[in-house]
Amino acid sequence: VEVVRTVAAFTGRLAAARLEGRDPGLVPTMGALHAGHRSLIEAAAAAHGHVAVSIFVNPLQFDHQGDLARYPRDLGADLEVCAAAGVSTVFAPSVEEMYPCPPRTTVHVAQVGEPFEGQVRPGHFDGVATVVAKLFSAAGACTAYFGEKDFQQLAVVRRMVSDLSMPVQVVACPIVRAPDGLALSSRNALLSDEDRQAATVLWRALDAGRRAVADGEVRPDRVAGAMADVVRSEPRASLDYAAAVDASDLSTPASLADTASVRLLVAARLGLVRLIDNCDARAMAGSRDGCNGAAALLVHGQEGR
Ligand code: PAF
């Protein structure tokens, strides 16, 4: 794996790969790589002769300085993961390289980026869209891999690519979960043992939502209420939101019956750690279908890297 630190070197590496007929697959990350990231890298490696991983903790998308400071960073361990997974290029720029001066141009994706995470974390999606636009601009034509774990982020990126005619194909990869249902996230490493146990409440809430849908509930607020009740039953968790939305644009439909694809979203805080999760509302309740990746059963010891 070759590590490049500058935008120019990254652009050059991917241009060279294209010239050699190796179509690049890009996996944008903020590091602290875990099995969820590995599944993105594996999906990219299966389809591309050149896999590039970007590792950059983007200050623009953090609404709290404390959250930015706490975000786990371990470039050495990340490079080991990348080398083992056959990654060709790691782009690991400094903040100064990515933002030589505070940007006056930012990307705002209206509507799809405004509710839920957009409301709880003002400016978050502008920061995400701006850095992803910069990464895409540096990478050039490529296929980019994102996890469904950040479902709203995926919708924001897709919309930005479409609105701005970016030469990037976006591929969504399924969520990878621990055996007890917790979606893998770099933030899980920050949970205390007690909060880690309590964090399964997000998965249980999604399951309650799916059961409500399977039982014929078509009112989004009732499905959301069933999910919220589960989160509120866990004393260590504090609910940010629970919702049943149209998966295509994250709007709330009048009835779930008329909606082709319904996504359940939940966000909650455990101590200082904020977790989000989601699943297909029509995946069978109690199962992992639509809520999980192929690498379903991870043992607890593998949850970190
Ligand atoms: O999902 C992430 O890790 C980040 O939001 C991303 C897409 C790499 C942008 O910083």
pLDDT at position 297 over 60: no
d(CA 144, CA 138): 13
pTM value? 0.93
Report which protein residue has its CA nearest ligand 1's atom 6.
29
pLDDT at position 190 over 60: yes
pLDDT at position 290 over 60: no
* Angle made by CA atoms 175, 124, 266, in degrees to the nearest 5: 40
Q: Relative to the CA of 28, which ligand 1 atom is closest?
A: 8
Q: What is the mean pLDDT of residues 43-49?
A: 98
- What is the percentage of the chain residues whose pLDDT exceeds 90? 90
Please give, one letter per residue, the 3-state secondary structure of 133-183.
HHHHHHHCCEEEEEECCCHHHHHHHHHHHHHCCCCEEEEEECCCECCCCCE
112 versus 297: the higher-pLDDT residue is 112
Confidence of residue 208 (pLDDT cuts 50, 70, 90): very high
Report which protein residue has its CA nearest ligand 1's atom 1.
29
Task: Using most ligand atoms within 8 A of CB, pick from 34, 153, 276, 278 the residue to mutate for ligand 1.
Answer: 153
Confidence of residue 284 (pLDDT cuts 50, 70, 90): confident
> CB within 6 Å of ligand 1 — which residues?
28-30, 58, 61, 128, 131-132, 150, 153
Q: What is the mean pLDDT of residues 69-73?
A: 92
pLDDT at position 302 over 90: no
φ, ψ (nearest 5 deg) of residue 300: -55, -40
pLDDT at position 299 over 50: no
Q: Relative to the CA of 57, which ligand 1 atom is closest?
A: 10
91 versus 293: the higher-pLDDT residue is 91
Q: What is the mean pLDDT of residues 94-118?
A: 97
Tokens 């950059």 belong to residue: 56
Burial class of 114 by CB neighbour count within 10 A (0 to 12, 13 to 18, 19+): middle
pLDDT at position 201 over 70: yes
pLDDT of residue 291: 56
pLDDT of residue 289: 54
pLDDT of residue 287: 64
Confidence of residue 247 (pLDDT cuts 50, 70, 90): very high
Report which protein residue has its CA nearest ligand 1's atom 5.
128
Task: Using most ligand atoms within 8 A of CB, pick from 37, 58, 107, 130 the residue to mutate for ligand 1.
Answer: 58
pLDDT at position 82 over 80: yes
Q: Relative to the CA of 29, which ligand 1 atom is closest?
A: 8
Average pLDDT, the chain: 93
Residues recognised as catalytic = 37
pLDDT of residue 149: 97
* C-alpha 205 to ligand 1 mean position (Å): 25
* C-alpha 134 to ligand 1 mean position (Å): 12
pLDDT at position 171 over 70: yes
Report which protein residue has its CA nearest ligand 1's atom 3.
29
Q: DSSP characters for the chain?
A: -EEE-SHHHHHHHHHHHHHTT--EEEEEE-S---HHHHHHHHHHHHH-SEEEEEE---GGG-S-HHHHHHS---HHHHHHHHHHTT-SEEE---HHHH-SS--S-----TTTTSSTHHHHSTTHHHHHHHHHHHHHHHH-SEEEEEETTSHHHHHHHHHHHHHTT-SEEEEEE---B-TTSPBP-GGGGGS-HHHHHHTTHHHHHHHHHHHHHHTT---HHHHHHHHHHHHHTSTTEEEEEEEEEETTT----S-GGG-SSEEEEEEEEETTEEEEEEEETTSPTTS-TTTS-SS----GGGS--
Q: What is the mean pLDDT of residues 147-172?
A: 98
Q: Relative to the CA of 58, which ligand 1 atom is closest?
A: 10
Report which protein residue has its CA nearest ligand 1's atom 2.
29
pLDDT of residue 301: 32
